[in-house]
Structure 1
Amino acid sequence: MKSGTLLAGGYVLGPEAERGAMASLHRARDVSGRRVAAKRLLDERHAERQRIEARVLRSLDHPRVVKVLDLVEDPAGRYLIMEWVDGVTLARVLARDGDPGLPPDHVLNWTLQAAEGLAYVHEQQTVHRDVKPQNLMLSPDRGIVVVDFGIARTFTHEGTMEIGTPGYMAPETYAGGAVTARTDVYGLASSAWTLIAGHPPPLGAPGPLAGATPALTQALRAALAVDPRERTPSMAAFAEALGGRLRGGDGRDMAVVIDIDPSRRPLLESVVRTVAGVFDAAASSLALVRPGGSLLYYAAWGAGAEEIVGRELDPGRGIASRVIENGRPQLVADVHDDPDWDAGFAQRTGFVPSSMMLVPLEGPDGPLGVLSMLDRRDGRPYDVEDLGRARLFARLALDALLAGRDAEPETRTTG
């Protein structure tokens, strides 16, 4: 696309910076003149997945993770707009300064910084899937920043497309296996090995790593295990094996809970966070029935979470109220075709989904509330198999949620 092209949203494209098989990256500016990065998504087959994914990525906020600002759909193409990060990728640092690799102590420091950002991403139920030196930016004022989330995916228990870069992809991704935090552990360990050795590690059992201590070599080998079950399980465990410790609390949590007894917050956060991860959802919410029959949103995760928590849905309004009234779970392939869809309520939360799955929380005296999953991140609607698993999840969570049914927090009433 020609430099100077004006996109929807007022973004002005600059020169192309990089090009790959699935995307091209442009320098750009927003309406205020601020520099941004515009990643053109070339694969039109997964447009809905890209829209859903962008909503989640916009909610990520951590100093070691590039900020996704917008998804622009324009006649000129579909662009993911991200903050511009000044600096140089570690791939370029290696090409410039490697002899053939870089000093292990430098690489160790960078790896621990990248692990901080990726640990936060994993806590938000997302996997990067393409961790490599080209996607680790060394910024003069921020240190390492993890960039290029155009193909990030949520945790899932299903097979997935093969996405990533040979040499850094975890072996399970070649076969469409499950994507977990261990997938990114492999990518980061492979990146660290590459930066020290000057080349990616061999698949299987890497040999000696020149210049590295035995402890560092062993930590990298454990993180490069072919079988994910034998691999270092998390970024925190990887950092500990490297002799470091991750600093927490820097990022914005995508789980939002109403102002209630602090002892109950972890439970409610866990419910909405876990259900989003298990069901590959762009957003999830938990609404409980109040005296009079209205539904109050106690907790939510993902896109629109801050806006929906604390809001109250009047009796008889919306799909969630229908679930309470008939006591049956609902699969909604397209919310716009549902006669009970409350578009005004959704617009006030700032998040209008395409599809939904809603499950009632059935207490001994009737429905206690509704657990909702919005927009599966692969772009497909939920199906009957998902519904069966969701009902099981709701039953497992029910006993714990019963303890909080008498809370009476302040609310914001709409409608």
Structure 2
Amino acid sequence: MLKTSTIVLGRTLNGRYRVLEPISAGAMGAVYRALDARTNSEVALKHATHPGGDQRFEVEARLLASLRHPRVVRTLDYFSDSSGHYLVMELVPGSDLDKVLKAHGQPGLPVAQSVDYARQACEALQYVHEQQIVHRDVKPQNMILAGEGIVLVDFGIARVLEEQEPLGTAGIGTPRFMAPEVFAGGRVSPRADVYGIAATLWTLIAGEPPVYAGGKSLSSISPDVTPELERTISAGLELIPERRVASVAAFAKALGAPLAVEKGTSLAISIDVPDASRSLMEAVVHTASGVFGAAAASIALIDETTGELVY
């Protein structure tokens, strides 16, 4: 059952979009199927809770509307009214990878198929990062398997690089897919999305998301995982940002031939060695990851529909 929303079904917003039914809900808003009266076509309407204010929403929505990539959902329109901020996006036909995974059964999808989906998602993320945007909520539910492959959707908590984090947005995301530095309120960079795509790939193969700083090895869950692939995913899941794979391009490159044990791309050139001054941040991130893992186990802190933290 979806989280209760204040939007009345059948209501027309902005004189144009008639709300038909809920699609999903989370800590930062809800997504509805709506009918565009001007085009007589269905769209996805996101009612966003946006603590940054009207001006910030305007800037970010305009930037999202400029994105043009076959693996990135198109933002068609945006507006605000007394009830909040809204993003109008194309309605992508298909199933999200979480549903695909659940339909397949345990432990998870075939390794080659999972890697292919991750590569396609990296294409979308690389383009998004080139536009100075970090998605921040990369997970199977936000990847739609459409006719031409994976499409990245739901930019409801995306951030423009170099912007200061709005008060109240630290820690918003999905447990075990959100990079620890995001939870800790640190600077958000494309490496946060690297963590998300690595956690997504782990989930597609294992059938469940990885555990922060511990848990089983992926190869113990799926024997088809090669040592090279396991090292690649582990490098993407590094808790300390500077130790993590530097970009989705580097991560995708390392996935280029992951099923051949004797082949693979070294990740050494894409991983920065943290300065000694980062030791404090390392301690903070490790502590935060422990708290985050504990929070993820607390039903009271988790939205039962989406799996998101709801403080």
Q: Which runs of structure 1 show a deviation greater than 6 angstroms over 4 or more consecutive aligned residues?
A: none
Indicate yes or no: 2:105 matched with 1:71.
no
Q: Comparing both structures, which one devotes a greater share of its residues to strand?
A: 1
Aligned to 1:196: 205
1:76 and 1:156 mapped to 2: Cα distance? 29
In 1, Cα distance between equivalents of 2:115 and 2:145: 13
CA distance in 2 between counterparts of 1:221 and 1:138 reads 25
Give yes or no for the alignment of 1:2 onto 2:11: no
Aligned residues: 244
| C-alpha distance in 2 between matches for 1:203 and 1:94 | 21
Structure 1: stretches of 5+ with no match in the other structure: 246-415
Q: CA deviation at 1:66?
A: 0.5
Q: How far apart, CA to CA, are the structure 1 residues paired with 2:107 and 2:164?
A: 39
- Among 19, 24, 29, the alignment partner of 2:30 is 24
Deviation at 1:73, TM superposition (A): 2.0
Could you give the per-residue CA deviations for residues 350-408 of structure 1, whole angstroms, max 9, x where no partner exists? xxxxxxxxxxxxxxxxxxxxxxxxxxxxxxxxxxxxxxxxxxxxxxxxxxxxxxxxxxx
Question: How do 1:380-399 residues align onto structure 2 when only pairs under 5 Å count?
Answer: none
In structure 2, C-alpha distance between the alignment counterparts of 1:203 and 1:125, rounded to whole Å: 27
Q: TM-score, normalised by structure 1?
A: 0.56
Report the Cα distance in structure 2 between the residues aligned to 1:126 and 1:157, rounded to whole angstroms: 10
Aligned to 2:254: 241
Which residue is 1:186 aligned to?
A: 195
User: Equivalent pairs: percent with the same residue?
Assistant: 47
- C-alpha spacing 1:159/1:27, structure 2 compared with 1 (3 Å): closer
The answer (yes or no) to whether the contact 2:50–2:85 under 8 Å persists in 1 is: no
The structure whose Rg is larger is 1
Quick one: structure 1 residues 105 and 12, their matched pair in 2 at CA, closer, same or farther if it must change by over 3 Å? same
1:134-149 residue pairs with structure 2 within 5 A?
134-139=141-146, 141-149=147-155
Q: Does 1:59 align with 2:66?
A: yes
The aligned residue for residue 12 of structure 1 is 18
RMSD over aligned Cα atoms: 1.9
Matches of 1:206 and 1:156, distance apart in 2: 34
Secondary structure of 2:27's aligned partner = coil
Is residue 225 of structure 1 aligned with residue 238 of structure 2? Answer: yes
Distance 1:180 1:3, change over 3 A: same
Structure 1 residues 143-158: aligned runs within 5 Å: 143-156=149-162, 158=164
2:138 is paired with a residue whose SS is coil
Deviations 1:82-110 (A, max 9, x none): 01100111111112212121111111000
Partner AA of 1:221 in structure 2: S
Check whether the contact 1:115–1:235 (CA below 8 A) recurs between aligned residues. yes
Preserved contact between residue 57 and residue 85 of structure 2 (Cα < 8 Å):
no
* d(CA) in 2 for partners of 1:232, 1:34: 41
Counterparts in 2 of 1:275-294, with a 5 A limit? none
Corresponding residue for 2:128? 121
CA distance in 2, matches of 1:75, 1:158: 25
Distance in 1 (alpha carbons) for counterparts of 2:79 and 2:114: 36
- 1: CA distance, partners of 2:174 / 2:9: 28
- C-alpha change, 1:2 and 1:190, in structure 2 (3 Å) is same
Tell me how far 1:75 sits from its aligned partner: 4.4
Judge conservation of contact 2:232–2:255 (CA < 8 Å) in 1: yes
> How far apart in 1 are the matches of 2:234 and 2:155?
26
Contact kept, 8 Å, 2:75 with 2:87, in 1: the verdict is yes
1:46 offset after TM fit, Å?
3.3
**TM-score relative to the length of structure 2:** 0.74
Shift of 1:51: 2.1
Give the conservation status (yes or no) of the 8 Å contact 2:28–2:156: no
Once the two structures are TM-superposed, the CA of residue 142 in structure 1 deviates from its matched residue by 2.2
Aligned to 1:167: 176
1:216 match: 229
